Amino acid sequence: MFDNLFLSLFRNKMVQETGWDSEKPGYQGLIEVAHRLTVGQDNSKTRDAAVRILKSLFPPLLLELYRILVAPIHSGKFAALMVARVTALSCQWLMGPCAVNSVDLPNGSSLMSGVFVEKCKYLEESKCVGVCINTCKLPTQVCPI
C-alpha cells in the first residue's frame, strides 16, 4: 500500500529535478527517470541532484528539527541508528529486501547503523552501476540532513 505512494512521491521529485518524465508506468518509469538524471553531467552533479531530491522528500521544518534535536544525541550515533531502521523499513520498495547491519567505526567499535541490501532491485533494474552509485548509494551515505 505505502510502496506505491513512496514510488510516486520519489518519482515525482526526480521528475521535478530532471524536467522530464518517462512514458513507462511504475518502477520501470522511475528507472528511466534515474537514467535521465545522469545524462550529460558529471558524477558530482548527479550526486548533488540526488541529494536535492532526497532532501525535498521531507518538510524543511522536519529536517531542521532533526538536525537540532536528534542529530546531536550521543554524538550522532542515535541518528545513525534511527536512519538505518527507517531506511530498512521504508525503502524495500526501491531496493528489495534489506536489514540493518553493523558498521565498523574508526575508533574500533561498531554500530548497528548500516543497511544491508540482499540483492538490490534498483541496481538490477537500472543495469548501471553509475546510476546506482551516483543516484542512490553515495547520496544516501553523504546526504547532510
Task: Look at the chain and report how many structural domains it folds into.
Answer: 1
What's the whole-number mean pLDDT along residues 124-131?
96
> Could you tell me the residue range of the domain that residue 80 belongs to?
2-142
pLDDT for residue 96 is more than 70? yes
25 φ/ψ angles, rounded to the nearest 5 degrees: -80, 165
In which band, very low, low, confident or very high, does the pLDDT at 15 lie, cut at 50, 70 and 90? very high
What's the whole-number mean pLDDT along residues 91-114?
96
pLDDT for residue 137 is more than 60? yes
- List the grid coordinates of 44: 558530482
**Cβ contact 119:96 at 8 Å:** yes
**Cβ contact 27:125 at 8 Å:** yes
Q: Maximum Cα–Cα distance for the chain, whole Å?
A: 49
Beta bridge pairs of residue 110: 104
In which band, very low, low, confident or very high, does the pLDDT at 118 lie, cut at 50, 70 and 90? very high
- pLDDT value at position 86? 94
Mean model confidence pLDDT for the chain: 94
What's the whole-number mean pLDDT along residues 89-99?
96
Share of the chain above pLDDT 90, in %: 94
In which band, very low, low, confident or very high, does the pLDDT at 141 lie, cut at 50, 70 and 90? confident
